[in-house]
Chain A
Amino acid sequence: MNRFEPIIVGFLCNWCAYEGADAAGRARKPYPVNLRVIRVLCSGRTDPQFVLEAFKEGADGVLILGCHPGECHYKEGNFHTLKRYIMLRKMLMQFGIEEDRLRLDWISASERDRFVEVVSEMVERVRELGPLVR
């Protein structure tokens, strides 16, 4: 039987995680092909509507990656992301979307191994959960 390959939409902050992904690529680090990257200028730009839209359009999981606390280029952007993320995860359960299908993490521009690790974990977790049937 074919293994289920989840689609993960990733909103990556331009200043940190996106750089981190780039660094992983330049260093030829392999990571799962399941990630579809959308670059945002700050994780705080990830409007909850974008997350819902991603789930609606076929994502099995959504990953938001921003700068570490205290390192956001717009000072508080990533804290806003954190606040919305916590409420959103809770609300998504009421829509029948398991909490682990949405994940927020912090990745700096130099953390290329951490990037690979987080993406791999996310793909594995969503693979366990199975496809989000719409």
Chain B
Amino acid sequence: MTEKPKIALYWCSSCGGCEESVVDLAEDILTVSEMADIVFWPVALDFKYKDVEALNDGEIAATLINGAVRMDEQEEMAKLLRRKSQLVMAHGACAHLGGVPGLANFFERQDVLDRSYKEVPTVKNPEGTLPEVQSVAHGRELELSGFHDRVRALDQVVDVDYYIPGCPPTPELIRDAIIMALEGRLPPKGSVLAEKKALCDTCPRRDSRPERLRIKEFKRLHQTEWDPEKCFLNQALICLGPATRGGCMARCIHANMPCRGCFGPTDDVRDQGAKSLSFLASMIDSKDEKELERIADSIPDPAGLFYRYSLASSLLKGKIPG
């Protein structure tokens, strides 16, 4: 009997949603496990670091890594898995673009530590202890993984062959990516395995997206009741569909919520946030500076909104220090 190809799954800085999306493969996981052996998957199977280390270089056919990278441990695992795998796939928005954890790049490293370990109301830390790579407690030396200055997307750490976008990706996209990898039917290296066109193209509300929009104020969801059939933009509600890659089956729109951009930019866009800003600004109906200022102010946190999933991989990558 010939050996089945091997696959592996790993998580870095993530919420667990991407793992959940693998579990959501339901019976399709059987198809996958008929085709391949899962040799490493910390969330579900009891294989260890040393088991991965013991494999030959390139012995794993494909590894899916989810989560952004901010710790030494994550970087080390990503590099080890890269060495052992023929293909590495960035699984989900955080590995693909930095994702929501990447928003921490709007803050300095020290601010993140102070906030998490000293300031949040649920933490009692009178001595102000912060995690250290080396420390001594009760006469024993302890070692923790180092915490980097910045959050990085996976391809800022190791070479990535393919991207499965989404927060999280749909189970269908994950299944198709794994099967395509095992059957050797993949598109050119570097491809994002979803639609090429923007979300609006496949949106059920696209027919009510007018050619020209004339907006005097951006509304926020809690300020209004909206028509569940009409394009959000047509109702002065921000939807990032025009600046976001399609392929999610418009799941937020079907749930009557506007798109927040988790599938990332289309191939021809480098910076999803700048693109979002650009199309929204063009829709404003005013030529008066004062009025334009007021309309711009109706978006209280533009950077947080436009870069919700892509800050770490954007042109500026985060706040400029100082």
Residues on A lying within 8 angstroms of B by beta carbon are 47-49, 51-53, 55-56, 69, 79-80, 82-84, 86-88, 90-91, 94-97, 132-134
Given contacts A79-B287, A91-B277, A94-B301, list 5 more A-B pairs with CB under 8 A. Answer: A47-B274, A53-B315, A86-B281, A87-B281, A95-B319
- The total of interchain contacts (Cβ-Cβ below 8 angstroms) comes to 83
Nearest-neighbour CB distance to chain A for B306, whole angstroms, equals 7
Q: In this complex, what residue of B is CB-closest to A85? A: B281
Residues in A with CB closer than 8 Å to B304 are 94
Q: Which of A69, A91, A133 touches B320 (beta carbons < 8 Å)? A: A133
Q: Which residues of A contact B299 (CB under 8 A)?
A: 87
Report A-chain residues with C-beta under 8 Å of the C-beta of B106. 94
Tell me if B315 and A133 are in contact (CB < 8 A): no
Question: Contact at B302–A94, with CB atoms within 8 Å?
Answer: yes
CB-based nearest B residue for A96: B320
| Residues of chain A within 8 A of B306, CB atoms compared | 91
Q: How far is the CB of B273 from chain A (nearest CB, A)?
A: 8
User: Quick one: which of A56, A79, A90, A96 contacts B296, CB cutoff 8 A?
Assistant: A90
Residue pair A97, B320 in contact (C-beta under 8 Å) = yes
Q: Which residues does chain A contribute within 8 Å of B287, judged by CB atoms?
A: 69, 79, 82
Say whether B320 contacts A86, CB under 8 Å: no
Query: Can you report 6 residue pairs joining A to B where beta carbons are below 8 Å apart?
Result: A49-B274, A86-B289, A87-B302, A88-B281, A94-B319, A95-B320
For the complex of A and B, 10 pairs with smallest distance between CB atoms: A94-B303, A96-B320, A48-B274, A83-B281, A52-B315, A84-B281, A91-B302, A49-B274, A96-B319, A86-B292
A69 to B288, CA, bound (A): 11
Whole-angstrom distance between the Cβ of A70 and the nearest chain B Cβ: 10
Q: Give the interface centre of B275, B277, B280, B321 by most chain A CB atoms within 10 Å.
A: B277
Interface positions, chain B 274-321, Cβ under 8 Å from A, are: 274-275, 277-278, 280-282, 284, 286-287, 289, 292-293, 296-297, 299, 301-304, 306, 314-316, 318-321
Q: Would you call B282 and A84 a contact (CB within 8 A)? A: yes
Tell me the minimal C-beta distance from B261 to chain A in angstroms: 15
Does B188 have its Cβ within 8 Å of any Cβ on chain A?
no
Tell me whether B126 is interfacial, beta carbon within 8 Å.
Answer: no
B270 close to A (CB within 8 Å): yes
Residue ID in chain B nearest A130 by CB atoms: B322
| Contact assessment for B277 and A48 in the assembled complex, using a CB-CB cutoff below 8 Å | yes
In the assembled complex, which residues on chain A have CB atoms less than 8 Å from the CB atom of B320? 95-97, 132-134
Contact A49 B271 (CB under 8 A): yes
Residue of B nearest to A52 (CB): B315
Distance of A71 Cα from B301 Cα, bound (Å): 33
Interface centre among A49, A56, A82 (most CB of B within 10 A): A49
Interface contact A80-B302, CB-CB below 8 Å: no
- Expressed in whole angstroms, the minimum distance between the Cβ of B119 and any Cβ of chain A is 21
B256-279 interface with A by 8 A CB criterion: 269-271, 273-275, 277-278
Q: Which of A84, A94, A95 has a CB less than 8 Å from the CB of B278?
A: A84
Chain B residues positioned under 8 Å from A95 (CB to CB): 303, 316, 318-320
Does B270 lie within 8 Å of A49, measured CB to CB? yes
